[in-house]
Amino acid sequence: MMSGDAGLVEALDRWRRWLADERRLSPHTLDGYSRDIAAFLTFLTGHLGQVTGLSDLADLKPGDVRAYLASRHREGLAKTSQARGLSALKSLFRFLDRQGLVHNAVFGVVRAPRLPISVPKPLGVEEALETLAAAGDIQSQPWMAARDIALFSLLYGCGLRLGEALSLTRGTAPVKGESMTITGKGRKQRLVPLLPAVTEAVADYLAQCPYAGGKDEPLFVGARGGPLNPGVVQRQMRRLRPVLGLPDSATPHALRHSFATHLLAGGGDLRTIQELLGHASLSTTQRYTAVDGAALAAVYDKAHPRAR
């Protein structure tokens, strides 16, 4: 629960509604932001020696914010979590400023922790294809084997996030010969072409699935017919890793990375890949150039006569 005086509590409620309705942040991000603000207010209560109100936020100095960041660092909070917390605070203070409640530019002079550049770790082409082929081998039920093959085919064949694939309904299931509209982060929609292998895998799964469902029912279901839990999918990937000799970085999301990297290696341009992945910024997509560059270097070192 967030603490503070009545005016601050009301302002926080309005901020959350704005994030959900106007910014269209996901429930997961909203929960993270709420935890970040709650942690900040709890710190301020001890730091200032009183319950925090709007006037206290208006009087904050850079030293107060740095003391908070230092306390989070001492707690062992990861730099990515620290950066997200700072982003939440900046969002809140911008909102309060626009609402005429708090005018304080303190977060404009406090820098976020420098984050290490995260380079995606895709599977090789053969590894990705073997993963799709073996996805059903570790299932006892034929229909669940077909389900896993269809799901992994969507992740690798269309570059979907796991959450995007699991949010599909019977009515939005991939259909042969068509493209598919995907609703991604921030509820932004993108058009994704469909490979025959993907639509065939989904059709095979639907033909075997013992649970009937209307167009609004989940496409991918669990053993009892309810929505398939992402944890189940992640567990299946963990079970596949030792079977195929895959590294720990082989996760369901790695199939999405593999989709992008293999497209780039095959001559795809970054702008097209950006659209297919649903990245808001090209800089996010550009991480794949580092991955592909590493692969090219490995090929060079292995094959070029001057490399030895």
Indicate which residues carry an active-site annotation: 161, 185, 253, 256, 279, 288
Task: Count CA atoms closer than 13 A to 189's CA, side-chain side.
Answer: 4
**Residue 253 CB neighbours (<10 A):** 19
Output the CA torsion 13→14→18→21 (10° steps). 70
Q: Which residue is associated with the tokens 């939005």?
A: 172
Compute the half-sphere exposure of residue 244: CA atoms within 13 Å on the CB side of its CA. 26
161 token code pair: 């996030």
Separation between Cα atoms, residue 18 and residue 136, nearest integer Å:
43
Q: What is the 3 state secondary structure string of 161-224? A: CHHHHHCCEHHHCCCCCCCEEEECHHHCEEEECCCHHHHHHHHHHHHHCCCCCCCCCECCECCC
d(CA 190, CA 180): 8
Contact 278, 185 (CB under 8 A): yes
The answer to whether 219 and 154 are in contact (CB under 8 A) is: no
Contact predicate 239/250, CB 8 Å: no
DSSP characters for 155-176?
A: HHHH---HHHHHT-BGGG---T
Q: Are 12 and 1 in contact (CB under 8 A)?
A: no
Please compute, for residue 304, the number of CA atoms within 13 A of its CA located in the half-sphere on the CB side: 8
